[in-house]
Amino acid sequence: MVQSIPQPHPEARTQGTRSQTLDRGLQVLQALRDAGGPMSIAALATTLGVHRSIVYRMVRTLEDHRLVARTSEGNYELGLGLPSLARGVSHSLQSAATPVLTELANETRMTAFIVVPAQDEAVTLLTVEPRHSMGHVAYAPGMRHPINRGAPGMAMLSALPPTAEERPEVSTARERGWAYSHSEVLAGMSAVAAPVATRTTLAAVAVVYLETRDRGEAPLRLGERVHGAARDIVSDLP
């Protein structure tokens, strides 16, 4: 008797241990994030390079789980289920940071936020906007940029051992405890950030604002305040 040997599913042979279906679903979410607004099925299909019927099945499944939502025009955008999932990410960090960010935002009248590393990117995890402000910069969770650009990324790098390739600004941040950047992530905007570093956590607390004439004074003043906020968050982490 010859025993037949089970053959792997075709998808398993081509993708190894990866799921092509899940990968495409995540690509849909990333495309909607990068677009910054609703997209049609046709636009998503073009972006992903797949047939519209495949995209349709993807978005309908994601819609069932409230990860995408359909607009009145019939296009699709990121859904309200995503923030619910995000609340479970770095829960202890978010719990420790929320009251500190609230105080920082209201005191400086600037948007305050927490950034975490994701491979070679800096990703905004949590933001708090000031309650009473004539005008401030909106900075939504999920925003990302190269970790070696912008004050939050440089602040996180400053908490790591020095490298030969690091920017001089990272070395400066390591010495004084906070980093400053201007027009590196958002044109015309400045940011000041300080590292939040423990044995198990690496993040940065930051504020973002529109540059004014007191360019030399604002970073110094904010640097000490943000550095203090970072210490407060660290003291509340497990």
Q: Which CATH superfamily is domain 87-236 in?
A: GAF domain (3.30.450.40)
Domain boundaries, the chain: 10-82, 87-236
Q: Which of 31-35's residues contact partners 24+ apart within 8 Å by CB, and which partners?
A: 32/68, 32/76, 32/77, 32/78, 33/78, 33/142
- Return the closest-CA partner of residue 122 out of 180, 202, 178, 188: 202
Taking only the tens of pLDDT, the chain with its 238 residues reads: 333 333 444 444 444 577 888 888 889 988 988 887 899 999 999 999 999 999 999 999 999 988 888 999 999 988 877 755 655 556 789 889 999 999 999 999 999 999 999 888 998 888 999 987 666 677 778 788 899 999 999 999 999 999 999 999 999 999 999 999 999 988 888 999 999 999 989 999 999 988 764 555 678 889 999 999 999 999 998 7
How many angstroms separate the CA atoms of 54 and 52, rounded? Answer: 5
| Per-residue pLDDT, 39 | 93
Q: CATH number of the domain at 10-82, out of 1.20.1560.10, 3.40.50.300, 1.10.10.10, 3.40.50.740? A: 1.10.10.10
The model's pTM is 0.67
Radius of gyration of the chain from its Cα atoms, rounded to whole angstroms: 21
| Per-residue pLDDT, 11 | 43
All residues at 6 or more sequence positions from 220 whose CB lies less than 8 Å from its CB, including other chains: none
